[in-house]
Amino acid sequence: MREVLFTRNNVAAQRHFVEGDKASYEKVRLSAAWQRTTELALESARTYGLDFSGGAVALDGLTIVGRGYANDNRFRHGLMHAEVMANSDTIFNQDHPDTLVVNLEPCPNCQSYLATVPGLKKVAFGLSRHDLADKGLLRAHDEDIFTCAADLPYAVEQIDDDELRADNLLIYDHVQRDAATGQVQVDYLGIVGALGL
């Protein structure tokens, strides 16, 4: 199912839009997409709560042509990250994304996977893996996606949006992950309270 990116509910788009300023358009597009990925992460927390709060959308211009959230624990398959789910959605719909946006820096597996997507020009993300390592949710890596960016066939961009960054950090304050087993527990009601939803 295709979906327009700019909806009445997408306040991130409204926050950054500057009439006539073409330089703002890409920032608006990516922030609006980050908001949508945040909604998907919340949907995962609400409906399941045992997967990491990762959400992703695949875009063709200003149209969302694929969406997904992490399902590796639900499906018991370690590679079912949000990026893979969102791109699988585009394949199912026979669409072709130019950009993939995810609320969290892609892991090395997803970086490689996304390199196989025909026509994908850009991968943009919200929080960095360092942000989550600081919370003890991921192992700290010396290398980030920008270290590998020269070898990737798509451009990489971290989205600059203070409000969405604060919201996503609050969400991950309510995620627990057992480093040994990979078990995840998301406190959805805690998130609802923290974000005032």
Asked if 148 interacts with Zn ion (CB under 5 A), we say no
Binding window for Zn ion (CB under 5 A); candidates: 9-17, 38-46, 74-82, 152-160: 74-82
H and E: helices and strands count for the chain: 8, 8
Asked if 137 interacts with Zn ion (CB under 5 A), we say no
Classify residue 52 by burial, with Cβ atoms within 10 Å: 0-12, 13-18, 19+. buried
Q: How far apart are CA 63 and CA 3, in angstroms?
A: 6
Minimum distance, C-beta of residue 132 to Zn ion, in the bound complex (Å) = 12
Asked if 107 interacts with Zn ion (CB under 5 A), we say yes
Beta carbon nearer to Zn ion, 38 or 103: 103
Beta carbon nearer to Zn ion, 32 or 110: 110
Q: How far apart are CA 65 and CA 12, in angstroms?
A: 19
Question: Alpha-carbon Rg of the chain, whole angstroms?
Answer: 16
Number of residues that bind Zn ion (CB under 5 A): 3
Query: Residue 88 CB: number of other CB atoms within 10 A?
Result: 14
Asked if 81 interacts with Zn ion (CB under 5 A), we say yes
Beta carbon nearer to Zn ion, 28 or 102: 102
Asked if 120 interacts with Zn ion (CB under 5 A), we say no
Binding residues for Zn ion, per CB under 5 A? 81, 107, 110
